[in-house]
């Protein structure tokens, strides 16, 4: 396609016509907050993604039409692409690398993975069934540093993500700023959500709201935690159900881990099944020395059957508040285990009003609730 062509939606079929430089039906310039974003209770500043600015829209009913729409939107941007019928194509990956201002409404269709990277900005993915969503590490730099090129402003709303291929994570965020993961059903034989990389760039403002997250063990794949954050600045984890499953109790991993240089991380009103929590516990002999700070964990409920309930490292965590949490457990009598050299609770921390009661087979496992929040 040349720059002198554009595409119009005509009876559900994309037709090429001469002149202009646009795509689909014009809807004017529209930009709004992402789907009336969920509320949060973090005491820290948090930025939601900027919504795509949409000028054009196009309906698709086949993979061929989706291919054409994506090819044009790659150069034009500012496009809403929506499915007008259900398509089942689990091997088809949606590559949105370097694309800007795209809203993809998949409805009940089933596709492969969504690929984001190299300057992708202002993307909203709504509905549908996917294998995974992959935020790639930058393959180029602006001024010599990979930290110059994060994926920016992404919303993933109301989708089902299954990771049937066994990728590292169902949602794998290597480097991004302003990500909203809201009201999805996410399951994975490894991580449900992983945010981190090996080149020292901090992801910022990752919001995980009202999802059902399950990480389970399967033959041939190493089991992993449900949500793991490494070098993440300003995350919010609220009103989710997190479940970690193993073949045996000893094989259950954590539901929530925070490591690296992460700070201003807030978890509130979540349900955690089986797995516990680890904050700042990596050492040189395990996964690198942590230096986390400003960790908040409040009003969460855990049905604990794992080897650990809540462990935080004394010297590798500069500040933490852990309050008003409840655990059902026959293993632990106190809620917080503080590791590392020294003794007692650091004077700057707040640890209070946490309870451990006997495991309750009626109350546990805690229910899924993400789908009830779907916007």
Candidates 120, 56, 123, 128; CA nearest to 92 is: 128
pLDDT at residue 142 greater than cutoff 70: no
Note whether residue 18 is domain-resident: no
- CA 246 to chain CA mean position, Å: 22
Instruction: Share the mean pLDDT of the chain.
Output: 87
- pTM for the predicted model, two decimal places: 0.90
Structural domain contains residue 45: yes
Residue 101 included in any domain: yes
Q: What is the DSSP letter of 370?
A: G
Give the least confident one: 139-143, 169-173, 207-211, 349-353. Answer: 139-143
Give, as one character, the DSSP assignment of residue 332.
Answer: -
Whether 213 is in a domain gets the answer: yes
Residue 12 lies in a domain: no
CA distances from 28 to 22, 31, 66, 158 (A): 12, 10, 22, 26
Give the count of domains, the chain: 1
Give the tens place of pLDDT for each residue, 265-288. Answer: 999 999 999 999 999 999 877 788
The reply to whether 15 falls in a domain is no
Residue 297 is encoded by which pair of tokens?
Answer: 């964990």
Rg of the chain (C-alpha set) = 22
Express each pLDDT in 212-258 by its tens digit.
999 998 877 777 899 999 999 999 999 999 999 987 888 889 999 99
Q: What is the CATH number of the domain that holds 81?
A: 2.160.20
- For residue 259, is pLDDT > 50? yes
pLDDT at 6: 25
pLDDT in the model for residue 286: 77
| DSSP-derived 3-state class of residue 126 | strand
21 within domain boundaries: no
Pick 202 or 29 by higher pLDDT: 202
173-210 residues labelled b (16+ CB within 10 A) or e (exposed): bbbbbbbbbbbbbbbbbbbbbbbbbeeebbbbbbbbbb
Range(s) of the domain holding residue 341: 28-373
pLDDT at res. 32: 41
State the number of CA atoms in the 13 A half-sphere of 80 facing the CB: 19
Q: Residue 274: which of 213, 351, 219, 340 has the closest Cα?
A: 213
**Phi and psi, residue 30, nearest 5°:** -130, 135
Read off φ and ψ for residue 186, nearest 5 degrees: -130, 125
Q: What is the greatest pairwise CA distance in the chain?
A: 75
Whether residue 16 lies inside any domain: the answer is no
């Amino acid at each position: 396609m040349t720059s002198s062509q554009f595409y119009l939606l005509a009876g559900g079929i994309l037709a090429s016509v001469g002149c202009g430089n646009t795509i689909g039906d014009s809807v004017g310039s529209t930009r709004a907050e992402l789907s009336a974003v969920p509320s949060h209770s973090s005491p820290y500043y948090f930025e939601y993604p900027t919504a795509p600015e949409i000028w054009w829209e196009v309906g698709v009913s086949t993979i061929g039409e989706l291919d054409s729409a994506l090819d044009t939107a790659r150069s034009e941007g500012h496009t809403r692409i929506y499915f007008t019928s259900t398509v089942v194509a689990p091997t088809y990956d949606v590559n949105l690398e370097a694309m800007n201002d795209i809203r993809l409404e998949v409805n009940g269709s089933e596709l492969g993975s969504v690929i984001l990277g190299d300057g992708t900005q202002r993307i909203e993915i709504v509905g549908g069934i996917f294998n995974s969503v992959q935020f790639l590490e930058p393959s180029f730099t602006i001024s010599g540093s990979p930290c110059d090129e994060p994926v920016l402003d992404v919303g993933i709303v109301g989708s089902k993500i299954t990771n049937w291929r066994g990728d590292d994570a169902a949602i794998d965020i290597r480097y991004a700023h302003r990500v909203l993961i809201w009201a999805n059903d996410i399951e994975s034989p490894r991580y449900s959500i992983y945010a981190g990389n090996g080149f020292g760039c901090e992801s910022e403002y990752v919001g995980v709201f009202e999802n059902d997250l399950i990480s389970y063990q399967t033959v041939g794949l190493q089991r992993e935690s449900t949500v793991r954050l490494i070098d993440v600045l300003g995350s919010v984890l609220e009103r989710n159900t997190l479940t970690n499953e193993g073949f045996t109790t000893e094989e259950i991993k954590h539901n929530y881990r925070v490591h690296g240089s992460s700070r201003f991380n807030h978890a509130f009103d979540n349900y955690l099944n089986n797995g516990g929590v680890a904050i700042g516990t990596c050492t040189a002999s395990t996964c690198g020395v942590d230096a986390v700070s400003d960790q908040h964990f409040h009003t969460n409920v855990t049905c604990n059957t794992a080897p650990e309930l809540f462990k935080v490292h004394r010297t590798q965590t500069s500040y933490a508040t852990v309050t008003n949490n409840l655990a059902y457990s026959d293993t632990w009598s106190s809620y917080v285990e503080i590791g590392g050299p020294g003794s007692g609770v650091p004077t700057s921390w707040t640890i209070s009003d946490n309870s451990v009661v006997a495991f309750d087979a009626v109350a546990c496992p805690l229910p899924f609730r993400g789908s009830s929040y779907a916007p």
